[in-house]
A and B are shown apart, each in its own frame.
Chain A
Amino acid sequence: MAIKQLTVYVQNKKGAMASLTDVLAKNNVNIRALSIAETEDFGLLRIIVDNEAAATKILEENGYLIKAIDVVGVKIGDKPGALTAALNVLDKADIDVEYLYAFMARTEKHAYVVLRVENNEKAEAAIEEAGLHLITNADICKL
């Protein structure tokens, strides 16, 4: 059920991000969701793309350090309090969220949250039990 996220190491210097996204663009990889965590020296670019295998291959060929991991995706309502409700579900199940990022669907009245937790299965079970919908890479690509 999980979503594949790629994390790419990006040196914190001018033009580094553009040259990375350019590599993806030239190989026809579309970024569907993106978040960055940064320090003074470097950034961690976390992306969900429409073709993870192709993205991994070209990034590796271009010398980037990447790591693919499974994250959890949840569909929530596009209204105040929806994110809180989803996070409360995890909190009740005693699940720690390492980081998260969210994005909106263009047409639907929904938002999507990507969650990085220690135990995906436990988080997924808690989310489904609470009546929320999990999403997959395929769902994200269809948006």
Chain B
Amino acid sequence: MSQNYYQKEIETMSAEEMKKLQSEKLVKQVKHVYENVPYYRNLMDEKGVKPEDIKGIDDLHKLPFLTKADLRDAYPYGLLAKPLEDCVRIHSTSGTTGKRVVAFYTQNDVDLWEDCCARAITTAGGTKKDVCQVAYGYGLFTGGMGLHGGSHKIGCLTLPMSSGNTERQIQFMTDLGATILCCTPSYAAYIGESLKEQGYKPEDIPLKAGIFGAEPWTEEMRKGIEKTLGIKAYDIYGLTETTGPGVAFECSEQTGMHVNEDHFYAEIIDPDTGEVLPEGSKGELVFTSLDKEAFPLLRYRTRDICVLSRKKCSCGRTLVKMAKPMGRTDDMLIIRGVNVFPSQIETVLLNEGYEPNYQIVVDRVNNNDTFEVNVEMTAEKFTDKLSDIIAMEKSLANAMKVMLGINPSVHLVAPKSIARSEGKAVRVIDKRKLI
């Protein structure tokens, strides 16, 4: 299969050249941050590190980490490294886990971000002949604007749909012949369901590829989306703190995402000790912005748990690959002392023949955690016998217990009664109040 590259010289650069490029950028970046961001300068001073101690990428481990707590402390301008008059845009996190994070962009920052997204779309087969439907939310959320910019750079006909209004999505998709869909995986699955309900078959729509990210999804869900939409589904990774989607993107091999490491250097650390772990180890993913100007985070701890690999990739890219994160520590719940990732629940549902439409409700009653999972009943499984439905709930609860090690109470609820994600899915309701 022929490979498409957006910036071939970077994407297939030799390890040596890449290291040289990263080292040059890092030295400059550390100086820029030290001079312009008092917050980080203090952290460096506390650690006794000076910009001149950083001579290349091998010295990166000497720098202090930044965490989400730092971003909250420094809100809104504390980590800004450029005068506001040089900034052209902001984006912001959803703020679901606390105070919002606001990230700033200069025009150069926007450009390099859009290049990253363009690499992702090109890899998925996008050219100027394609019609790219962007159904991520536009606005403060980085998804819409990021993929929109990447699509523009390639010269695709860009449909700036934003999320929601599924009827209209389908109308434009079919009338204008969209060939690439960009949205969250749960919304892709929903669009697929809606197309099916309206009697469309995968061969009736010209879609060939989808670029889906911004929330955790499983291999099973990928297979489902690929089947209902008749496409190849590519994963994309990113976070507002670093830039947005496009920090890493999947190639046709679908065995991990290539990190755009000429802009974002990835490390895996031991989350407890902070020690850098060798390639192939599982640990917390840490990113360093090598050349962003306005909001250049150095050694930002993502709280995503994953593995990096430099194994040769059949797509020809030499960019390091990150495995799909096993779950963001933000998403991870600790229920009765056990770590629970929503993606594990999703895997069980897909294995047992349910749609991945679920909601986890956690509460604390008499000092004990309650753990409920609401799952939508499907037309195929629905029966008039109460005893059968109760048996289905029990069997699902058992399967979840095998996967998680703790026993949920499972409720089968009416179809479409769980709010669908047209942006990000609300999968978890944690009512526990720890006073």
Q: What is the interface of chain A, defined by CB distance below 8 A to chain B?
A: 5, 7, 9-11, 37, 39, 41-42, 44, 46, 63-67, 69, 98-99, 116
B interface SS class: loop
Let me know if A63 and B416 touch, CB within 8 A. Answer: yes
Let me know if A39 and B386 touch, CB within 8 A. Answer: yes
> Which of B384, B390, B414, B415 sits near A39, CB closer than 8 Å?
B390
Residues of B within 8 A of A5 (CB): 384
With A42-B413, A42-B414 known as contacts, the answer to whether A69 contacts B384 (CB < 8 A) is yes
With A5-B384, A9-B382 known as contacts, the answer to whether A65 contacts B413 (CB < 8 A) is no
Instruction: Say whether B377 faces chain A, with CB atoms less than 8 Å apart.
Output: yes
Let me know if A37 and B386 touch, CB within 8 A. Answer: yes
With A9-B377, A11-B417, A39-B390 known as contacts, the answer to whether A67 contacts B383 (CB < 8 A) is yes
Min CB gap A47→B, angstroms: 11
Let me know if B413 and A44 touch, CB within 8 A. Answer: no
Residues of B within 8 A of A63 (CB): 415-416
Min CB gap A114→B, angstroms: 12
Residues of A within 8 A of B415 (CB): 9, 63, 65
Min CB gap A56→B, angstroms: 12
With A9-B377, A65-B377, A65-B379 known as contacts, the answer to whether A41 contacts B413 (CB < 8 A) is yes
Residues of A within 8 A of B377 (CB): 9, 65
A104 to B387, CA, bound (A): 27
- How many residue pairs link A and B with beta carbons under 8 A? The number is 47
Q: What is the interface of chain B, defined by CB distance below 8 A to chain A?
A: 377, 379, 382-387, 389-390, 411-417
Residues of A within 8 A of B386 (CB): 37, 39, 44, 99
Let me know if A65 and B384 touch, CB within 8 A. Answer: no
Min CB gap A141→B, angstroms: 21
Closest residue of B by beta carbon distance from A45: B384
A8 to B399, CA, bound (A): 27
Residues of B within 8 A of A46 (CB): 384
Min CB gap B370→A, angstroms: 14
Residues of A within 8 A of B379 (CB): 65
A64 to B413, CA, bound (A): 11
Min CB gap A7→B, angstroms: 4
A44 to B387, CA, bound (A): 11
A37 to B390, CA, bound (A): 12
With A5-B384, A44-B384, A46-B384 known as contacts, the answer to whether A65 contacts B390 (CB < 8 A) is no
A66 to B379, CA, bound (A): 7
Residues of A within 8 A of B390 (CB): 39
With A11-B417, A65-B377 known as contacts, the answer to whether A42 contacts B412 (CB < 8 A) is yes
Min CB gap A97→B, angstroms: 12
A5 to B384, CA, bound (A): 9
A36 to B30, CA, bound (A): 69
Q: List 26 A-B contacts (CB under 8 A).
A: A5-B384, A7-B382, A7-B383, A37-B386, A39-B386, A39-B390, A41-B411, A41-B412, A41-B413, A42-B389, A42-B414, A44-B384, A44-B386, A44-B389, A46-B384, A63-B415, A64-B414, A65-B379, A65-B382, A65-B414, A65-B415, A66-B382, A67-B382, A98-B387, A99-B385, A116-B384
Let me know if A98 and B414 touch, CB within 8 A. Answer: no
A63 to B387, CA, bound (A): 23
Closest residue of B by beta carbon distance from A41: B411
A8 to B384, CA, bound (A): 8
Closest residue of A by beta carbon distance from B415: A65
A7 to B382, CA, bound (A): 9
Let me know if B385 and A9 touch, CB within 8 A. Answer: no
Residues of B within 8 A of A67 (CB): 382-384
